[in-house]
Amino acid sequence: MLKKRLLTLIPTVIGVITLVFAFIHLVPGDPVDVMLGETAAAADKAALRAELGLEKPIMTQYLDYLGGLAKGELGMSFAYRKPVREVIAARLPATLQLAGVSLLIALLVALPLGVAAAVNKGKAIDRATLALGLVGVSMPNFWLGPLLIMLFSVNLRWLPVSGRDGFASVILPAVTLGFALAAILSRMVRTSLADVLGAEYLQAARARGVSERKVIWLHAMRNAAIPVITILGLQLGALLSGAVIAEAVFAWPGIGTLLLQAINGRDYPVVQGCVLVISLGYVAANFLADLAIRAADPRVRG
């Protein structure tokens, strides 16, 4: 099963690479004009275009790109004049830090809220959790981020406005990125857990004298975890793509800001490399979710 799953990832990744390459090269604008300016001499433009390989047919450029990927090369950045993998490697730790802290915040908020809502179904905390989940799903990052900046940075002056300088600087972008994830997970935990709380095996555990806390967190959550893990796997990939907006709002020096800069500068190799990393993040997150589901539910093994 694992080998079959891994084999299905190959055409997915190739399809993503192909679509990204095609869309990037269909975007209007010439990177040579961006780098040299429209008033540059025609000879200088032709020389730079030849140096960057832009004079080759699109299919040749595509095949060259695939050949480079097979060797672990992402190409050469037009703007930085250095390998794309080095440019991305310098920004990747910042994005991974932001995604990791966002995930931690989401779990710390979603699990207790979801469990409390399921145990107290129909009561005030349940309705409050559902309302919070609706707000979290509906509120876009580009609106929540500036709102948090105005409150905690401008008015209260508790946290930095932007940049990456110490742990305090990651709090606001992580909350911005993790708020929607916490809303989705809390609703999923509530729904999944509520469906199993009345099961006979839980009643039997209570009759044996098992504490209610163990009944919920050890026995019930194990069976309620499957849909939660599935949603979490999908949302882990979304953290990387959502980081583009959060990083832009807070000037966080990660892949998101690098991607936007590369798009503005028509730096095709960097754009392709950033999107490829984000896409592989989706693929890896879903693959890890599959492994976690197989570990949690013996019925899907084999």
58 with 152, same domain: the answer is no
35 with 178, same domain: the answer is no
Model confidence at 121: pLDDT above 60: yes
**What span, in angstroms and rounded, lies between the C-alpha atoms of 259 and 247?**
10
**Residue 60 lies in domain:** 2-70
**What span, in angstroms and rounded, lies between the C-alpha atoms of 150 and 177?**
17
User: What pLDDT is stored for residue 209 in this prediction?
Assistant: 80
Q: Which region, left, alpha or beta, applies to residue 29 given φ > 0 means left and ψ of -120 to 50 means alpha? A: left
Amino acid (one-letter) located at 228: V
175 with 216, same domain: the answer is yes
User: What pLDDT is stored for residue 162 in this prediction?
Assistant: 83
**What span, in angstroms and rounded, lies between the C-alpha atoms of 171 and 272?**
29
Within 13 Å and on the Cβ side, how many CA atoms surround 251?
8
CA 240 to chain centre: 2
Least confident of 9-23, 31-45, 52-66, 213-227: 31-45
Evaluate whether residue 134 is within a structural domain. Answer: yes
pLDDT in tens, 50-102: 777 777 888 888 888 888 888 888 888 878 888 989 999 999 999 989 988 99
65 with 100, same domain: the answer is no
pLDDT in tens, 163-175: 888 888 999 999 9
From residue 80, alpha-carbon distances to 56, 69, 87, 93, 263 in Å are 21, 19, 8, 19, 14
pLDDT in tens, 138-149: 888 888 889 999
Q: What is the CATH number of the domain that holds 234?
A: 1.10.3720.10
59 with 9, same domain: the answer is yes
**What span, in angstroms and rounded, lies between the C-alpha atoms of 302 and 292?**
14
What is the domain count for the chain? 2
Domain termination residue (choose one: 253, 275, 296): 253
115 with 249, same domain: the answer is yes
101 with 145, same domain: the answer is yes
